[in-house]
A and B are shown apart, each in its own frame.
Chain A
């Protein structure tokens, strides 16, 4: 049985094409993927991301617990700061990637992928119990109670400023505030997102969702605000080279191979799952790396297509691929041997039996207007 979000009835009323995604009934597009994509790049668009999971970690052991199960350095957080991180899986791979919000020194909010909520919750509980934390109290899965909107684009913060007395337009990237929003108290607003075009994500209780949706579209009307589906969410993130769990990263890819070394911190004060393994991998050198590439010949790369060398030998697989709506070029990501991972390296993508020439490029693909 597919789950609905607090906003499902709005999507259906707007004529969205609905698809099952990670167990949820979600809008994949409204007016059309390319138009929606460009709305976010140039103006402001709203995504229902209520399918994302939220796990609270609280109490005296909260810091130690989050520091141990995530790869990034939680000691760098301060109240109101957000951090991108991942859960290493104990075998050199990744359980999930996530955001860590520090509410205060003893309260953290972990925001995880919809497809992994159950797996992540079990993982968090397993380690919390070992540390003597109380499941259901010190760790708490609030995923079914919280609705979330991503309001993204260069006009996003300006469009919704009048819904809150707190100034939000100059908030630093990856920070958050707990504020009154559209008359609703205790809404969390963070300057985060998965598009590379700025804006914010807001978290609210399910029962406040309808009021907030209506208020956002009302004040956004002057800015041309539009609802955006999951289709554009994927092309927007791919243009930025942001990893998608299940495509570009999974239980078999190391964060270092995936280019997530910047969220994998080997400082002496921090002990975490797989620290030793990953440190050894770093010291010995990587064998493969996740890269971005542009296809020069005509054709579009898709997930699981083979990546080949000039002789036609398979050297890897495409993990994500699309026609980039902003650049109007076929782009993709995939793992290649480290010798072919530098920008400028020539690789080939096998598309329906033909080898199409492609070139490794520096990420992001989209560098702004």
Chain B
């Protein structure tokens, strides 16, 4: 299971990559492997400001559907349009080409409350 060092993680298996006051969000390698083949990604919240824990969109695998939850308070700036035609990028490259949305953070310090790579690794081992 790949867990890059430079990201922060949630208990729902989202990752967030912070670049000053903007950030990218996606789902972890563990999440994509649990979901299986992803066939549809829907994000209709671009332009909205959402609170931590709210659903910013949904991921449909062949067998199941899962929400993607906000790891922090932020505005949704952009949806990764490539996922419209290639939802399988979430399976193939969950931390790269498979990013889901770009966010503008309401308070960048909130990210410090999320798990770092070591903590997330320990969390996965506890599941």
- B40-84 to A contact mask, C-beta < 8 Å, 1/0: 101000000000000000101011010000000000000000000
Assuming the contacts A33-B37, A300-B40, asked whether A352 and B58 have C-beta atoms less than 8 A apart, the reply is yes
- A307-348 to B contact mask, C-beta < 8 Å, 1/0: 000000000000000110100000000000000000000000
Q: Does B39 lie at the interface of the complex (its beta carbon under 8 Å from any beta carbon of A)?
A: yes
User: Is the CB–CB distance between B36 and A323 below 8 Å?
Assistant: no
User: Is the CB–CB distance between B40 and A299 below 8 Å?
Assistant: yes
Assuming the contacts A231-B62, A234-B63, A322-B62, asked whether A32 and B37 have C-beta atoms less than 8 A apart, the reply is yes
Which of B36, B60, B62 neighbours the largest number of chain A CB atoms within 10 Å of its CB? B62
- A287-315 to B contact mask, C-beta < 8 Å, 1/0: 00000000000111010000000000000
Distance A325 CA – B36 CA, assembled complex (angstroms): 13
A45 to chain B, nearest CB (A): 16
User: Is the CB–CB distance between B58 and A298 below 8 Å?
Assistant: no
User: Is the CB–CB distance between B60 and A300 below 8 Å?
Assistant: yes
Q: Does A235 lie at the interface of the complex (its beta carbon under 8 Å from any beta carbon of B)?
A: yes
Distance A298 CA – B85 CA, assembled complex (angstroms): 12
A26 to chain B, nearest CB (A): 14
A304 to chain B, nearest CB (A): 12
Q: Which of A230-280 contact B (CB under 8 A)?
A: 231, 234-235
Distance A250 CA – B83 CA, assembled complex (angstroms): 38
- B16-31 to A contact mask, C-beta < 8 Å, 1/0: 0000000000000000
Which listed residue (A298, A299, A325, A352) contacts B62, Cβ 8 A? A325
Distance A299 CA – B87 CA, assembled complex (angstroms): 13
Distance A235 CA – B39 CA, assembled complex (angstroms): 13
Please name all residues of chain A whose beta carbon is closer than 8 Å to the beta carbon of B65 when the two chains form the complex: 300, 302
In this complex, what residue of B is CB-closest to A32? B37
Distance A139 CA – B65 CA, assembled complex (angstroms): 43
In this complex, what residue of A is CB-closest to B55? A352
Distance A29 CA – B61 CA, assembled complex (angstroms): 13
Q: Does A34 lie at the interface of the complex (its beta carbon under 8 Å from any beta carbon of B)?
A: yes
Distance A29 CA – B40 CA, assembled complex (angstroms): 19
User: Is the CB–CB distance between A323 and B58 below 8 Å?
Assistant: no
In this complex, what residue of A is CB-closest to B91? A32
A79 to chain B, nearest CB (A): 40
Distance A352 CA – B40 CA, assembled complex (angstroms): 14
B81 to chain A, nearest CB (A): 14
Majority SS of interface residues in chain B? Answer: strand
Interface size class on chain B is 10 to 19
Assuming the contacts A298-B42, A299-B42, A300-B65, asked whether A33 and B36 have C-beta atoms less than 8 A apart, the reply is yes
Please name all residues of chain A whose beta carbon is closer than 8 Å to the beta carbon of B37 when the two chains form the complex: 32-34, 325
Distance A298 CA – B65 CA, assembled complex (angstroms): 14
Please name all residues of chain A whose beta carbon is closer than 8 Å to the beta carbon of B42 when the two chains form the complex: 298-299
In this complex, what residue of B is CB-closest to A231? B63
Assuming the contacts A298-B42, A299-B42, A300-B65, asked whether A231 and B58 have C-beta atoms less than 8 A apart, the reply is no
In this complex, what residue of A is CB-closest to B39? A323
Please name all residues of chain B whose beta carbon is closer than 8 Å to the beta carbon of A235 when the two chains form the complex: 62
Distance A302 CA – B65 CA, assembled complex (angstroms): 9
Assuming the contacts A298-B42, A299-B42, A352-B58, asked whether A322 and B36 have C-beta atoms less than 8 A apart, the reply is no
Which listed residue (A231, A298, A300, A352) contacts B36, Cβ 8 A? A231
- A196-235 to B contact mask, C-beta < 8 Å, 1/0: 0000000000000000000000000000000000010011
User: Is the CB–CB distance between B58 and A29 below 8 Å?
Assistant: no
User: Is the CB–CB distance between A33 and B58 below 8 Å?
Assistant: no
User: Is the CB–CB distance between B40 and A34 below 8 Å?
Assistant: no
Please name all residues of chain A whose beta carbon is closer than 8 Å to the beta carbon of B63 when the two chains form the complex: 33, 231, 234, 322
Distance A234 CA – B36 CA, assembled complex (angstroms): 14
Please name all residues of chain A whose beta carbon is closer than 8 Å to the beta carbon of B62 when the two chains form the complex: 33-34, 231, 235, 322-323, 325
Distance A299 CA – B44 CA, assembled complex (angstroms): 13
Residues of A participating in the B interface, judged by any CB pair closer than 8 Å: 29, 32-34, 231, 234-235, 298-300, 302, 322-323, 325, 352
- Smallest CB-CB A-B distances: 6 pairs: A323-B39, A34-B37, A300-B60, A33-B62, A33-B37, A33-B36
With contacts A33-B37, A231-B36, A300-B60 known, what are 18 further pairs, Cβ within 8 A?
A29-B36, A33-B36, A33-B62, A33-B63, A34-B62, A231-B63, A234-B63, A235-B62, A299-B42, A299-B60, A300-B39, A300-B40, A300-B65, A322-B62, A322-B63, A323-B39, A323-B60, A325-B62
**Could you list 5 examples of A-B contacts with CB < 8 Å?**
A234-B63, A299-B40, A300-B65, A323-B40, A325-B62
